[in-house]
Amino acid sequence: MTTALEAPSRRRDREIGILVAWRLGVAVPVVAVVATGVFLLAAWSPFDPIYQYFGVGVFSAGDAAVENARQQLGLNDSVWTQLGRWAGGLLSGDLGQSLSFRQPVGTVIAQRLPWTLLLVTVGLAVSVVLSLVAGVVAAWRQGGWVDRAVTAVGHTLEGLPPFVLALGAIAVFAVAWPVLPVAGLTDAGAAPTVDQVARHVVLPAVVLGISQMPWLVLHVRSSLLGALDEDHVTGARARGLPERTVVLRHALPTALLPFVTVLGNRLPEVVTGAVLVETVFSWPGIAAAVVTAALSVDFPLLAALTLLTTAAVLLGALLADVAVLVLDPRVTADG
């Protein structure tokens, strides 16, 4: 075998390359299946796009005009022809026209995506930092009051949807203690300067972070508890290392490896949380646009956002797996 003679790092790189190529290869059919599924759902639904085209005018328009418009929009073609046309448009970069925003879908996404990325990044950072600190403290003193408080709060938060937390935050910050703005990207009419956005992102991001925290914190805790029982930790204790070194340098790194995977696989829930949080806080991101698009049955935008999210979820899982491969030399790459 030639691979056995290569330097381990080279072999590693090749393994990672194969993993990435394989997963991207799998992702293409998955995205294609999702696109077809969403299109067929729409095609077989009772919703008729002609009403969207005419709006209220459909009731005053003559039969001939309606039929003419149908012909022009290609609605009389078979479902598969329409699907082919739509998919062809997607591949050539033409995402269609968003009816609820009266803009091309590409423009809507380009304008709103950065704000969602900002919100999700800050939210995830809050979530990771809080859950690492709380999880480590809880596992360190298992059975102590911190541990009990963290597990109780964690389990309670699991049962609360993000929008309840958001409403709670609004109740506190809009009424009782108005130090932070509770809605929008900027104050009314103000330009989106760094200062303005930084103040407005705090509440949505913290709510999003806390809503994602319970799974992460409980995972860090149980994973660190498992690591504390491992032989190399007992060995470190036996050598008389200080408790801090034992927990933070010997137990925590092994405990954190699965955490990366958990984080990558939680992306669907993060998206769900973002939909709810953005809506409650009137944050002008793409997740809030999903709701706007759904309320006015804006199929081109809805479909584009669904595909975008699907791709993001697959990418998140892939990144997590690559990160584990890079961090942990013991893991072997397989599909």
Partner 1 sequence: MAELTAREARPAVGNEEPWRPAGRRRPGTLRARASWTGRGRLVAGLVGLVVLVLGAVLIPWLGGLDQGAVDYTAVRQPPSLAHPFGTDAVGRDLFLRSFAGLGVSLTVAASCAVISTVIGTLYGALSGLLGGWPDRILMRAVDGVNAVPHLLLGIVIVALYHGSVLAVIASIGLTHWTTVARVVRSEVLSLRSRPFVDAAISGGASRRRVLGRHLLPAVVPPAVLSSVLILPHAVWHETALSFLGLGLPPHLASLGNILAEGRQAVLLGSWWIVVFPSALLAATTLAVAGIAAWWRDRTRPRRRSELAL
Whichever of 47 and 80 has its CB closer to partner 1, that residue is: 47
Nearer to partner 1, 144 or 192 (CB): 144
Residue 97 phi, psi dihedral angles, 5° rounding: -110, 130
Q: Smallest distance from the beta carbon of 233 to partner 1, in angstroms?
A: 8
- Comparison of 152 and 190: residue with beta carbon closer to partner 1: 152
Cα 15 to Cα 204, 234, 330: the distances in Å are 39, 33, 13
Q: What is the DSSP letter of 4?
A: G
Q: CB of 35: closest distance to partner 1 in angstroms?
A: 10
Measured CA to CA, the distance from residue 181 to residue 173 in angstroms comes to 7
Residue whose CB is less far from partner 1, 49 or 209: 49
Residue 42 C-beta: closest distance to partner 1, Å: 5
Q: At CB < 8 A and 24+ separation, what contacts does 79-84 make?
A: 79/40, 79/43, 79/44, 82/39, 82/43, 83/36, 83/39, 83/40, 83/43
CB of 194 to partner 1, least distance (A): 28
Smaller CB separation from partner 1, 171 or 331? 171
- Nearest approach in angstroms of CB 103 to partner 1 is 19
Q: At closest approach, how far in Å is the CB of 314 from partner 1?
A: 6
Nearer to partner 1, 106 or 268 (CB): 268
Q: Pick the closest to residue 170 from 266, 279, 48 (CA basis).
A: 279
307: Cβ–Cβ under 8 A, 6 or more apart, which residues? Answer: 31, 34, 35, 38, 90
Residues that bind partner 1 (CB under 8 A): 26, 29-30, 33-34, 37-38, 41-42, 45-47, 140-144, 151, 155-156, 158-161, 163-164, 167-168, 170-171, 174-176, 218, 222, 225-226, 228-229, 234, 237, 243, 268-269, 271-272, 275-276, 279-280, 290-291, 293-295, 297, 299, 302-303, 305-306, 309-310, 313-314
Alpha-carbon distance of 61 to 106, in angstroms, equals 31
How much is the CA Rg of the chain, to the nearest whole Å?
A: 25
